[in-house]
A and B are shown apart, each in its own frame.
Chain A
Amino acid sequence: MNKTKKKVRPGIIAIHIIMIILCLLCIIPFLLIVISSITEEKTLLMNGYSFFPEKLSAYAYTYILSGNGGKILHGYAVSFGITVVGTVLSILMTLLYAYPLSRRDLPGRNIFAFFVFFTMLFRGGLVPSYMMWTQMFNIKNSYIALIVPNLLMNAFYIIMMRTYFSSTIPNELIEAAQIDGGSEMKILWKIITPLSKPMVATLGFMTVLGYWNDWMNGLYYITDATYYSIQNILNRMLLDIQFLSSAAATQLGTAADIAANIPSTGVRMSVAVIGLIPILIAYPFFQKYLIKGIMIGGVKG
């Protein structure tokens, strides 16, 4: 290791420079969001967005949290719950489907692959889905509505998983395990999954993102606020603010003076920050598995 390190040092430095530039490109706009979320609304209106605002204010956050603190915590709890349950179920189902699909000896393999792929191309649309979920399965106002429709299994993840299996796991390994008399379930669980940790962690993280950021299911299937996820609560707040700040534009509105004081842009930005932070905290956790996955791969190799 040490030897190679020395040899390619200029190259490594170049790579670091490139990566740092890319990271700056990613982080600067994010910083802008964070800074605008703590910029005083009037300053924001008068001077536009700025990295060095004249006047800071935590008003947007206090505005969101005052009186809503309990609601937001509850929303976090709901989102956390559905994310955990949904991700575990989703990864299990994806593994179970993708593994046979990756096996060359699966009869009708192409048909099953096509069966998955087809769902990526053709979608029935919202109206029929809604009719089915509410009329046949009656899921309105339940946690199931937040977990099951659309999010539970993603054709893209199945195909990625399958591709990963077939491109990185040597066939001989499976054959050897079969000769040892392991059942297929056992092979999947004991051999394939540990070897696939990097992909499982990656797809797991994407599923987490999917559940955490989803507000569509909540919008369509939830009318009872006790089932609101954090995204639905934050969305509701954004809408409320939009109304308040446009209230003055209504024919008989006299609320204009109040509207001007509501931190609409600041709130929008702080809502983005509030929604993002848990994900940024969760990500290193998944990375640990990614790294672990590499090490396991290293040992096996």
Chain B
Amino acid sequence: MMIPGTIYLIINNYIPMAGLVLAFKKFNYQFGMWKSPWNGFSNFKFLFMGSDAFNMIRNTIVYNIVFIVLGTILAIAVAIFLNAVPGNKSKKTYQTIILIPYLISIVIVSYIGFAFMSQESGFINNSLLKDNPVSWYTTPSVWPFILVFIHLWKSFGYNSIIYYATIIGIDPSLFEAAEIDGASKWRQVLHITLPSLKTTIITLTLLSIGRIFYSDFGLFYQVPMNSGPLIDVTNTIDTYVYRALLTLNDVGRSSAAGFLQSILGFVIVWLTNFVVKKVDKENALF
């Protein structure tokens, strides 16, 4: 049964992984992947040059942690609400509508953001803060909140639908029994729904932890409009690498960055999974 999938993964994912060697090579198109000369660790050096290395790594991790924690809470809450809403019609309507943000491309999101936050023609300055307009795109202190808000806004529909699919798969007899015992809705959520979601929560969280050194490029680059004064709070590893290599066209260095992001994520997931395994063997990812 697993054969087609295994083969596909080997071809689509594992064979190209040979490309990870490029992280240690000075790639030359004429020689190709294998014959290009080795380069040791020098492709990694650019990530740690300059005064901002610490800053961008910290941003990447902290944003991701906030996204994981708040995102999970919000998604579960919405999924439970969705389940509690009586009537298929309103369920359907809500479900469709909360998915819309996920469908809008990040470039369009950045346009919408500008429509709200533009200094001279934006809604916020024009209608809400007429007397003290804020120059949003040059005020770094507000951007951590804006970025978290936009991320949650864009992703909560998608995530809550995954949780929702799990909730509606829960054996209804459990709720019926609880009902008969006179358990309140809140107690049902606490004692039936959340425990049933545990596996899903742990799995999704572990998966997100694996990508904790990655970031949504569009969110951190397009949405702040690549505005210079904001870079201290919007710089992540991905935007740094993009800006640094934009004109250098350096396959080796970009592979090196990806390699580092993967290997660090891998180590952290491995450790987390190890802890999960110790506590609850069933829910470990592998």
Contact = CB atoms under 8 A, between A and B. Distances in A.
Contact of B8 (A25, A152, A170): A152
A213 B173 CA distance: 39
B33 A131 contact: yes
A276 B85 CA distance: 26
A111 B9 CA distance: 14
Interface in B1-16: 1-2, 4-6, 8-9, 11-16
Most buried by B among A123, A156, A170: A123
Given A25-B153, A29-B112, A156-B207, 10 more contacts: A11-B84, A33-B104, A96-B5, A153-B9, A155-B13, A202-B162, A213-B105, A269-B111, A276-B103, A284-B92
A122 B262 contact: yes
Interface in A10-63: 11-12, 15-16, 18-19, 22-23, 25-27, 29-30, 32-33, 36, 47-49
B139 to A, nearest CB: 20
Contacts of B284: 110
A110 B108 contact: no
Interface stretch (A159-167, A221-229, A248-256): A159-167
A13 B200 CA distance: 28
Contacts of A294: 168
A150 B17 CA distance: 13
Most buried by A among B5, B101, B265: B5
Interface residues of B, number: 90
Most buried by B among A117, A206, A280: A117
Most buried by B among A22, A198, A268: A22
Interface residues of A, number: 94
Contact of A297 (B2, B118, B169): B169
A16 B85 CA distance: 7
A15 B85 contact: yes
Given A159-B203, A209-B103, A297-B168, A23 B97 contact: yes
B223 interface: no
Contacts of B1: 96-97, 99-100, 184-185, 188
Contacts of B282: 166
B274 interface: no
A127 interface: yes
Interface stretch (B45-53, B61-69, B240-248, B250-258): B250-258
A184 B1 CA distance: 9
Nearest to A51: B123
B76 interface: no
Contact of B122 (A33, A48, A201, A202): A48
A272 B165 contact: no
Given A287-B95, A297-B172, A168 B5 contact: no
B30 interface: no
Interface SS majority for chain B: helix
Given A32-B112, A168-B171, A298-B172, A163 B199 contact: yes
B243 to A, nearest CB: 18
A222 to B, nearest CB: 18
B271 to A, nearest CB: 13
B156 to A, nearest CB: 8
6 contacts: A16-B85, A29-B109, A30-B100, A33-B104, A49-B111, A97-B2
A220 interface: no
Interface in A134-173: 148-150, 152-153, 155-156, 158-160, 163-164, 166-168, 170
Contact of A122 (B108, B115, B266): B266
B152 to A, nearest CB: 10
A113 B285 contact: yes
B81 A159 contact: no
B104 A30 contact: yes
Contacts of A127: 19, 22, 27, 33, 251
A100 B98 contact: no
Interface string A61-99: 000000000000000000000000000000001101101
A112 B1 CA distance: 12
B285 A168 contact: no
Interface string B178-219: 010000010000000000101110010001001100000000
A49 B22 CA distance: 46
A132 B93 CA distance: 44
Nearest to A300: B171
A227 to B, nearest CB: 20
Contact of A199 (B5, B81, B111, B169): B169
Given A113-B286, A125-B258, A298-B172, A26 B100 contact: yes
